[in-house]
Amino acid sequence: MTRESEYLFIKLEEDGETAVRVQLAQGIYGQQKIPLIVEWLQQKERARDSHLANKNLKILKCSMGAAWAAAFAAAISALSAIYVIFKD
């Protein structure tokens, strides 16, 4: 990455993603900067997607734990019912 693109990325960070998208749509940036800005926006999207994927994975793991606990409780209930029916 060149020093110019580093400075641009710093400025984009300062401006924020929403403002950058608006300014890009308004055509404020020069043609030379557009590929770098698009790359920066794509990096932001990938980071957001990665964060959401990690969050979804955590939720899935918690859900699986709850499902196993429910299955275990159901098995205990079934065994208890069988015991009560056949204890005499």
Could you report the per-residue pLDDT of 46-61, keeping only the tens digit for each? 888 788 888 888 888 8
pLDDT score recorded for residue 42: 92
CA distance 88 to 42: 70
- Give 38's DSSP letter: H
pLDDT score recorded for residue 57: 84
CA distance 63 to 11: 41
Q: Tokens 């997607």 belong to which residue?
A: 49
Domain limits, the chain: 3-86
CA atoms within 13 A on the CB side of 2: 5
pLDDT score recorded for residue 47: 86
pLDDT digits 0-9 by tens, 29-47? 889 899 999 999 999 998 8
pLDDT digits 0-9 by tens, 6-27? 899 999 999 999 999 999 999 9
Q: Which residues of 1-20 are buried (b: 16+ CB within 10 A; e: fewer)?
A: eeeeeeebbeebeeeeeeeb
pLDDT score recorded for residue 56: 82
